Structure 1
Amino acid sequence: MTQTIETPPAVRDRRRIHRAWWVAAVAALAIMSAGAFSTMPGLLVDPLHQEFDWSRGSIGFAMWVNMALNGLAAPFATSLMDRFGPRNVVAAALGIVAVGAALTTVMTQAWQLTLYWGFLVGLGCGSIAMGFAAIVVGRWFTRRRGLVTGILTAASVFGQFVFLPVLSSAMDRYQWRPVTVTVALVSLVLAPLVWLLLRDHPADAGLKPYGAEEFTPKPAPVPGAARHAVQVLRRAAGTGPFWLLAGTFAICGASTNGIMWTSFVPAAHDHGMPPTTAASLLSLIGIFNVAGTVFSGWLTDRVDPRLLLCVYYALRGLSLACLPALLGPQTGPPLIVFVVFFGLLDVATVPPTIALCAIREIYGERDSAIVFGWTLTFHQVGAGLMAFLSGMVRDALGSYDAVWPASGALCGVAALMAMAIRKPAPVG
């Protein structure tokens, strides 16, 4: 008689893929879509200028509102996730993006661009930003936090840049309105999908966080989400590390989202490069962003995050200072080297910044995601301000050339600020 040997439950559990990885995958899908929607401003500048004869400064102002709201929404959305759960907040945010994108197609005045794309789309995308990623990482993972942060950041970058040439090509063929309608439809499809598949906490599925030794009960909802977000800001604002993190991340936004997303394509076009080619270069940056960000997450688990930020900002500043000499009608080897180099550094700052926001003895484990949400606000305000100023410089000087070395100098300041941040205690 053959005896059946059953596999012990503990062994079966180890063989099964932990639910945390599936939640991370769904979160990555939502973050990727928000990233793709965030690439649109740089592609809209020239079409809106040509169709409506709006100044690049007024278009840049709408993009500033978009990026500022994108950042300002993050801490409040993160706090709302503590109250109502990430699933409900993210699904609602996708619905807001759909409404804003749809209304943009029927606008006739510049202030409507500010309201529809600036306010609504910025608000929706900001609610699905890296504050959401910090919530997922903090709730579902005890081990591999740096790696998962890098993966979710890479998802945002993948959405931002990899789909860029597709959007640019579609605009060339179908004009900007059909592409914007597509954004609205994608948001409408994703909203119910995310609501069905995402789970708010491991306890909802009767699981421990990945890598945890003990079961963690689901925390009680935090009432007064807006008040709690402001209280966290008030406590964090009384610490030096917060302002250093906020300052470095504002410069990060100015030297990436603010200048590359909104200015690179029109700046390259000014130098004779076709917009689709310039968009393809941004896409290539996105591909290397993925590798650079995941590797940065791996390094963040092993190296002092302050040192990583210092190196990243210093090297980014040098690359930006060289860019005006590299732009031209053709994509020569020096420009390709810049694209690869900048891509590896572009979003690599996010994992070490999140790690520094989790300084336990200052901010506490639970509030670290909201603290990061506030630093993300500064990131997006810096990005939006640079987008606005870049448009003003282009209107005044007829060129974007002065903007690149100025951004490089700011990165040098950020490198110095990073090393002044208090060294965090090791995270177990």
Structure 2
Amino acid sequence: MRIHRAWLVAAAGFIALLAAAAIRATFGVLMEPLMMEFGWSHGAISTAASVNLVVFGLSAPFAASLTERFGLTKVVAIALGAIALAAALLTQATQLWQLYVIWGVLAGAATGAVAPVLAATVANRWFVARRGLVVGMLTAANSTGQLIFLPLMAHLTTHGDWRWTMAVVGGAAVLALVVVLAALRDRPEDHGLVPYGGTAADIAQSTRRPALQVLREVARDRVFLVLVGSFFICGATTVGLIAVHLMPAAHDHGIPAGTAAGMMALMGILDIAGTTGSGWLTDRYPARRLLVIYYSGRGLSLVILPFALDSRGPVLTAFTIFYGLDWIATVPPTVALVTQRFGRETGLVAFGWIFAGHQLGGAAAAWSAGAIRDASGTYDGVFLVSGVLCFGAALLLAATRIRPRAAATAPPPPLAQPA
């Protein structure tokens, strides 16, 4: 049996997302070495992470439009080259402003072009069957990449110069670039194919409009605002809080860097199963109900995290396992809901803006958690507040009914005329 080319395209996208995420793994690993070498504070370094997340998030809505104009392969290839360049430049950075420009702006824009929008684009163009599964798989790569590189990076920073971690980032980007040029393709119809599990009727003609135009159309939509708000909390409690600050928090509780990196790596491995499984579930169960479960469980895990760091042992292991499974499992059902609400093409760009909210939440958490740690000497309060916010997101989604926009906004039937 021949393998449909859609699966090769998905595999190339998986590798690109995995490699692009490596540079974000450096946030947690390099915080302590940078503080020791340059005397910078938690807050100062967290600001660089915040800039990265803001630029990353704001790049996502425009990545879809750039992909439409220049092609998926070109955009992803240029982004991977920019990541390799940023890794090389970071080894020469000695001033905070250089950290902000290279780590924040350049790396943020490059990784934003290889964002979950890529996952949604590949899934919607190349798949009819197994679409939710593919979104889950590719989304897992985007978040897992920054976690599975952590043990090697932690080893390099513990036993040598932190600059060697940039060699890992640059090497991963270059290898991914080779794979992308060899296997990633824009559309099935360009190669005389139909999407996996579909027919010629499923080949979508491009009707995508500019990102800002789509934003103007959906900005006041109630469902869009709910999804942006919940995804803001999702980003705040994952890429902004745990990815940036869990390792420093573990250090505060006397947990060695290697052990903390191992926890993060285990989360990354479990995230592949959790997010891919979430895609499988999204193909079979109501997406809104899944999101309520995911946010409720995440809130509970964050509330108990301070106790887990103190007690270690089975409680910390349980936290690591659950959080890894739940890390970014919210993406497949969120993509399903925005597509249900706005349709396939408009939904892709609308999801880009929702994802921007995710990264802005991450930026807010990355900066505020660092500032609170400098002021109070502990992260415990940040973890508790974050858990409460997750419960709020679950309640917000539980109270929202989501229908296709046309059905939700259809005018009422005219009144019968009197005889």
**Do both proteins adopt the same fold according to a TM-score greater than 0.5, normalized to the shorter chain?**
yes
**Which residue of the partner structure matches residue 123 of structure 2?**
137
- Aligned counterpart for 1:392 among listed residues 359, 367, 371: 371
Q: Deviations over 1:256-287 (max 9, x none)?
A: 11111111000000110101100101111112
> Aligned-pair distance for 1:156?
2.2
User: 1:114-125 alignment to 2 at 5 Å?
Assistant: 114-125=100-111
Match status 1:253 vs 2:232: no
Amino acid paired to 1:39: A
* d(CA) in 2 for partners of 1:188, 1:296: 30
Paired residue secondary structure (1:143): coil
* d(CA) in 2 for partners of 1:248, 1:236: 16
Q: Structure 1: 5+ residue runs without aligned partners?
A: 1-14
Q: What's the TM-score, normalizing by structure 1? A: 0.91
Q: Deviations over 1:170-195 (max 9, x none)?
A: 22223211211331233234324312
Match status 1:266 vs 2:248: yes
**Which residue of the partner structure matches residue 287 of structure 1?**
269
**Which residue of the partner structure matches residue 109 of structure 1?**
95
Amino acid paired to 1:290: I
> Aligned-pair distance for 1:57?
0.8
Match status 1:411 vs 2:397: no
Amino acid paired to 1:204: D
* d(CA) in 2 for partners of 1:221, 1:355: 19
> Which stretches of structure 1, 4 residues or more, deviate above 6 A after TM superposition?
none
> Aligned-pair distance for 1:217?
5.4
> Aligned-pair distance for 1:164?
1.2
**Which residue of the partner structure matches residue 329 of structure 2?**
348
Q: Deviations over 1:31-57 (max 9, x none)?
A: 111122221111111111111001111
The answer to whether the 8 Å contact 1:201/1:218 transfers is no
The answer to whether the 8 Å contact 1:78/1:373 transfers is yes
* d(CA) in 2 for partners of 1:215, 1:145: 16
- Aligned counterpart for 1:318 among listed residues 287, 300, 313: 300
Deviates more, 1:234-243 or 1:135-144: 234-243
> Aligned-pair distance for 1:220?
5.7
Q: What's the TM-score, normalizing by structure 2? A: 0.93
Paired residue secondary structure (2:234): helix
- Aligned counterpart for 2:165 among listed residues 174, 179, 186: 179
The answer to whether the 8 Å contact 2:30/2:157 transfers is no
Match status 1:92 vs 2:78: yes
Match status 1:58 vs 2:37: no
The answer to whether the 8 Å contact 1:74/1:131 transfers is yes
Task: Report the identity percentage.
Answer: 46
> Aligned-pair distance for 1:104?
1.2
**Which residue of the partner structure matches residue 202 of structure 1?**
188
- Aligned counterpart for 1:337 among listed residues 318, 325, 331: 318
Match status 1:380 vs 2:359: yes
> Aligned-pair distance for 1:297?
0.7
> Aligned-pair distance for 1:215?
5.4
The answer to whether the 8 Å contact 2:206/2:345 transfers is no
Q: 1:75 to 1:137 in 2, by over 3 A?
A: same
Q: Structure 2: 5+ residue runs without aligned partners?
A: 406-419
* d(CA) in 2 for partners of 1:217, 1:344: 34
Amino acid paired to 1:60: S
Amino acid paired to 1:95: G
> Aligned-pair distance for 1:77?
0.9
Amino acid paired to 1:357: V
Amino acid paired to 2:153: L
Q: Provide the aligned C-alpha RMSD in A.
A: 1.7
**Which residue of the partner structure matches residue 7 of structure 1?**
none
The answer to whether the 8 Å contact 2:135/2:279 transfers is yes
**Which residue of the partner structure matches residue 35 of structure 1?**
21
User: 1:140-151 alignment to 2 at 5 Å?
Assistant: 140-151=126-137
Q: Deviations over 1:134-155 (max 9, x none)?
A: 0000100011111111111222
> Aligned-pair distance for 1:403?
0.7
How many corresponding residue pairs?
A: 405
Q: Deviations over 1:213-266 (max 9, x none)?
A: 2255574696xx8xx011111111121111100000000001111111111000
**Which residue of the partner structure matches residue 350 of structure 2?**
371
